[in-house]
Structure 1
Amino acid sequence: MLIRIDPDTDAPLFAQIADSVRADAAAGRLAPGDRLPAARDVAAALGVNVHTVLRGYQELRDEGLLDMRRGRGAVVTDAAASLASLHRDVRALAARARALGLSPDSLSSLVKEATRDR
């Protein structure tokens, strides 16, 4: 697993870390039961503060994607399988929209509208 950040963007580093892990789970590169690297190791590799990494991990814990326990580290939960399934659905939807000639912006607008309809 490779956690990626871009220091040149306005997005907070902890959010980029969480987004990177979320993307790996959605793409199926992380499965339930997988352990994430220790926060200290990630912080050293990325050149960021360990608390930045922990905040990203905590965001994922709050979403239910990670289980964090002292001594066990951060472990991916069963939510990763659901996220990967949703990712496949989204890719299929995007392919269908392309086939219909719908622009990415139009598809995005449709999805945003659908999420507001509760």
Structure 2
Amino acid sequence: MSEFNTLSAMGLTDVNAISHYKLSRQDNQEVLKVYFKRPAGSAMPDSSTFCFDCNTVVPADAEAASQSKDNGGSDPVLIAAVNELNALNKSMSNHDRRMQLVNELDRLEQIMAAKLQELREDLNRIV
């Protein structure tokens, strides 16, 4: 567990339950959403969301300026968490990764089908 200190500090103690993560930017925040593998009917959450403010502080010296430029102003905790999540992701077997991608594709297909149906219904109401 010692290799995932940042994730543990964020409350993600069971790293084996992590399936994948997504990183996005909203307004002046970077949002890290971590997804978990849960059995059907589990009362545990399917994901956890963490928000990090974008760094707008002016660096005090050349070294700090270089570091800030290299990480795009991202929070150091976020960078450490993403590095740990990437290391965890690399340790997943190809079969696990493949299943994760298949599940993600299935989910996206369901979302797109529902949205297309909604648009068709709206179009039929107009005509």
Fold shared by both chains (TM-score > 0.5): no
TM-score, structure 2 normalization? 0.33
Name which one, 1 or 2, has greater alpha-carbon Rg. Answer: 2
Q: Which has the higher contact order (CA 8 A, sep 6+)?
A: 1
TM-score, structure 1 normalization? 0.35
The structure with the largest strand share of the pair is 2
